[in-house]
Amino acid sequence: MKYAVDYRPVGDSVVFAWEEGGEPVRMILKSGKTAGARTGVFGATKKVPKKIGVKVASEMSTADFFARLEPSDVIFTGLGGQNDKFCIAASRKNVKLLRLPTNFVHDEQERQRKEESKKGEAVEEAASILYRFARSIQEEFYPFREADLPYLEVRLLSRLFWTVQRSIRITIANRLRHVTQDLEFLGGPEGFPVTKQAIESILMTVPEEEGFEIDPEQMVAIKFFKSLEVKVKRDLERALDVLPLYNAVFKPLKGNCGPGIAGYVIGQIIDIRRFPTFAKLKAFAGYHLVKNEDGEWVAPRPMKGQRANWDHVLQQAVYYFTSVSDKQAADHLWKQQLQIRYGYEIEKLLRKVQEKWGSAPPDVQAEEAKALAGKNVPVPAEMTIERFLGWVQALRTEAAGTGGIAKLPEPYKGIPVVARKRALRWLGQKFLQYVWTEWHRFEGLPVPEYGVPLFPVGLQVDTSRSTSSSSSETGSTVTEIPPSGLPETEDVLETVVDA
């Protein structure tokens, strides 16, 4: 028997079952949980399921469905999303699992909305699309491998770690801190000894050596949830330590890619075969470029009423990697590259300011030069990157002495902030490039050489998995970054070699 399954942990799952050469039968798997159920003053209300124009042949519980599976059965389901839990359970029944990247289903539904003007319930459901594709483009499905099971476990542990850390521990700690601040308006916490004692009994200050990987500034925690977070993190670390992929690709990134970030990257990608080119992985992570209304290539942003075509969780994990890299010591490899790119982006922005200045009429230039001279600000024609960086540092030092904030006048306003954001985004692309290249090599997949190194030749990275040499200065083991690169087709991918 063959099945096309659209699994839903909450609500009813839809299954299309058929035998070779036979017609499909639509089935409903009852989870026992009601999707969209709400409890109000008049009790629970049940969301009415969509009406489907296919007659339901049978209904059964998800447990009964698993009980009837046999090793000769074949299941077609989605690769990613809610189907991961289903695959973990189904793999224990030794059935053949074939998974299709969920973007195939989403793209087909979007095509029906645009080209066939379908709306709402008229759009074909996911299980039906999986069934059609299983019969027409089965070669696009990826077989579930025994090695994929640990990746799914890492994905679930990473989500649990994130939930305990971000959604529970940090959120509740911040709210309790806000309660304490609100009490200041009522005479301070000392005026409410019972409330003060209750808050202090559950809050704790995290020791500096136990700082959090993702958000080091959140040094307040809930005692119970901090303990729970530590236990979940240990489980995640144990799952990663026995994972060959983690030890080969992510563990060498010492200092800026801990279990939280690595777990999320592995858990969201799952199967690198989904991304035959680096451009596809970059787009999946939201680090691609799109054209705006003016025809310019810019970073994508969520649009109201439109479904984003990238993975927000992976995008956030990459952002955390760049943020942690930004906090590393000045001699750290990734920090060095970030600083080099930061200078390059400043140089580009200064060049635009100079071009705008040079295109202005002479009388306008003279008027602006006079205004800048009155503020003791260099004119664009005389500004170099070295002079600009020194000037900015002097302004920041002066502002720090007075307790103020350094503000740059026009036409230099915002240049450091914009340059830093662009440099961080560039570093995120380099991280994705490293992951894509090394993961492909780990799987034995072909890796094209574009001729552009990941980082400039001569810079090295700590690692323990390659032929290495001893460094006399640090005493550590070092090896050169593999010469993987990017296609020279996008301005945003200009390497620091060009800088």
**pLDDT tens by residue, 315-344:** 999 999 999 999 888 888 899 999 999 989
For residue 497, name the pLDDT band (cuts at 50, 70, 90). Answer: very low
- pLDDT on residue 89: 85
For residue 247, name the pLDDT band (cuts at 50, 70, 90). Answer: very high
User: Mean pLDDT, to the nearest integer, of 416-433?
Assistant: 92
Lowest mean pLDDT among 91-100, 271-280, 455-464, 477-486: 477-486
- pLDDT on residue 156: 85
Per cent of the chain over pLDDT 90 is 23
Which range of 6-10, 163-167, 192-196, 452-456 scores highest in mean pLDDT? It is 6-10
Q: Structure tokens of 425? A: 């985004």
Contact 130, 102 (CB under 8 A): no
Per cent of the chain over pLDDT 70 is 73
Residue with tokens 């200050």: 205
Q: Which of 245, 98, 240, 42 is nearest to 156 (CA)?
A: 240
Q: Give the CA radius of gyration of the chain.
A: 28
- pLDDT on residue 484: 34
User: Mean pLDDT, to the nearest integer, of 223-247?
Assistant: 82
**Model confidence at 468: pLDDT above 60:** no
Across the strands, what pairs with 298? Answer: 290
For residue 456, name the pLDDT band (cuts at 50, 70, 90). Answer: very low
Contact 74, 53 (CB under 8 A): no
Q: What is the DSSP string of 409-464?
A: PTTSTTHHHHHHHHHHHHHHHHHHHHHHHHHHHHHT------S--SS-TT-EEE-S
Which range of 205-209, 270-274, 317-321, 455-459 scores highest in mean pLDDT? It is 317-321
Q: What is the pTM of this model?
A: 0.71
Contacts (Cβ under 8 Å, ≥6 apart) of 26: 14, 15, 16, 52, 54, 55, 56, 57, 127
Give me the phi and psi of 486, to 5 degrees please.
Answer: -125, 155
For residue 184, name the pLDDT band (cuts at 50, 70, 90). Answer: low
**Model confidence at 376: pLDDT above 80:** no
CA separation, residue 404 to residues 144, 226, 389, 401, 409 (Å)? 58, 36, 19, 8, 15
- Residue 112's region, left for phi above 0, alpha for psi from -120 to 50, else beta, is alpha
Instruction: Give the residue with greater pLDDT, 180 vs 125.
Output: 125
**Model confidence at 479: pLDDT above 80:** no
- The sign of the torsion formed by the CA atoms of 304, 308, 312, 316 equals negative
Lowest mean pLDDT among 62-76, 104-118, 171-185, 400-414: 171-185
Instruction: Please give the single-letter amino acid code of residue 498.
Output: D
Lowest mean pLDDT among 4-18, 23-37, 111-125, 175-189: 175-189
Tell me the H-state helices in 125-207.
126-136, 148-162, 171-183, 193-202
- Average pLDDT taken over every residue of the chain: 75
- pLDDT on residue 480: 33
Q: Which of 278, 242, 243, 246 is nearest to 265 (CA)?
A: 246
Q: Provide the residue ranges of all domains of the chain, joining segments of one domain with +.
A: 2-34+54-144, 148-242, 265-499
Q: Which of 262, 268, 278 is nearest to 324 (CA)?
A: 262
Count Cα neighbours of 109 within 13 Å in the Cβ-side half-sphere.
Answer: 19
